[in-house]
Amino acid sequence: MSDYDSSEELAKKTIDDINDVLNSTYDGVPVRERFGNYSNQFNERPLLNNLRMMADLHPHDNFPASVYRQPRMQSETGNSSNSMYVEDDFGLDRYDMDRYQNGYAIILNFEHFQDPSRFRTRTGTQADVDRLIKVFKKLNIKINNIHQDLTKNQMEQKLRQFRSMKYDLSNSNALIVVILSHGLEGDNIMATDSAFHLHDIIRMFNTEELPEMAGRPKIFIIQACRGNQVDRGTQLNHYNDHVDADEDDLHPNYADFCIAMSSHHGHKSFRNEQTGSWFIQAFCDILETIDLENNHLLDILTATKRKVAARTSKSGKLETNNKKQISSCYMTLTKKFYFKKN
């Protein structure tokens, strides 16, 4: 008998053994859950060893992580530990989407500023707000509030209030913060009176400050520039494009965060006075047209980058005319996040 025939015979026998036990022990429990329950509770070593051998022989089959878990071993300190080379059980590569709301969001829109000689009115930003409202409604993302032209202290107060909405947050698959404003160098973004540091806003929603959202995505959508550089382009496609000036690179150490930004480090972002910003409008276009069932958040943001990159500015000013833009994102997400369809 060949090695292949032996492995096939072993596989069939093992599967029969598993079915006998699972059918009698876990009647009514989904099959995908039975493997983990059986191996965790019974830990029948011969059966598990056979399963591991099957997994090695058939690496493309979907065996649960518990199959690969090695026997508990004593460490040098006397503490027992598990040695594993597959960490996730079935389904754990995705964030839990069982809650009613896809997300719980707050929108901070800054259009007018106390020093208009330095920070021009952000004409066209209301088009971004209107579009976000429309798209979020389609995606069953509940908007806590839309705040307009807050001072720095007012904004911090509203964010603390948003963070305190425990019931709505606990019933949401994700937390979403949208900030639309001018920005400065060094991770600073403008309120109407002064700048705030983006890190300070992110820190308000880490696991220590908001344990209710531990293990769930915290998504930040930032429309603002990231410096004064511009990319050259070759086509004149869009008119009345203006520039928002923004912040530097960001490296948070917190898990389950996604910070999506309208431009690359050191570069400007464009906003059309009639139709809104390139980034927010592209992001909404993708959310409305992409197959949400088969594309997770990183896919959505990648498609957004591609759409933004396809545009070219025409602003009437030499320094911002005929230029390009690319959005960017920084993620510490530990799983794939899919927006659930209504």
The answer to whether residue 51 scores a pLDDT higher than 60 is no
DSSP string, 87-125: ---TTTTB----SSBSEEEEEEE----S-TTTS---TTH
Contact (Cβ atoms closer than 8 angstroms) between residue 51 and residue 67: yes
Is residue 329 among the annotated active site residues?
no
Which is higher by pLDDT, 200 or 4?
A: 200
pTM tops 0.75: no
Around 273, how many Cα atoms within 13 Å sit in the side-chain half-sphere? Answer: 10
CATH of domain 103-331: 3.40.50.1460
Is residue 238 among the annotated active site residues?
no
Provide the pLDDT for residue 274: 95
Across the chain, mean pLDDT equals 78
The answer to whether residue 103 scores a pLDDT higher than 80 is yes
pLDDT band at 237 (very low <50, low <70, confident <90, very high): very low
Which is higher by pLDDT, 284 or 264?
A: 284
Q: Any idea where the domains of the chain sit in the sequence?
A: 3-81, 103-331
Provide the pLDDT for residue 241: 60
Q: What percent of the chain has pLDDT over 90?
A: 54
Provide the pLDDT for residue 342: 73
CA distances from 95 to 27, 187, 340 (A): 27, 29, 11
Which is higher by pLDDT, 35 or 322?
A: 322
Instruction: Tell me the average pLDDT across 180-199.
Output: 91
pLDDT band at 183 (very low <50, low <70, confident <90, very high): confident
The answer to whether residue 69 scores a pLDDT higher than 70 is no
SS3 state of residue 285: helix
pLDDT band at 218 (very low <50, low <70, confident <90, very high): very high
What single letter denotes the amino acid at residue 12?
A: K
Q: Which of 112, 225, 242, 265 is catalytic?
A: 225
pLDDT band at 340 (very low <50, low <70, confident <90, very high): confident
Provide the pLDDT for residue 10: 60
Q: Which of 58, 60, 147, 182 is catalytic?
A: 182
**Which letter, b or e, does each residue of 119-129 get, where b requires 16 or more Cβ atoms within 10 Å of its Cβ?**
beebebbebbb
| Winning range, highest mean pLDDT, from 81-90, 215-224, 247-256 | 215-224
Instruction: Tell me the average pLDDT across 205-233.
Output: 83
Choice among 24-28, 200-204, 314-318 with the minimum mean pLDDT: 24-28
Which is higher by pLDDT, 43 or 285?
A: 285
Provide the pLDDT for residue 90: 42
Beta strands (DSSP E) in the chain are 73-74, 80-81, 103-109, 141-148, 175-180, 183-184, 188-190, 195-197, 218-223, 231-232, 241-244, 257-261, 269-272, 276-277, 323-324, 328-331
SS3 state of residue 140: coil
The answer to whether residue 221 scores a pLDDT higher than 50 is yes
What single letter denotes the amino acid at residue 322?
A: N
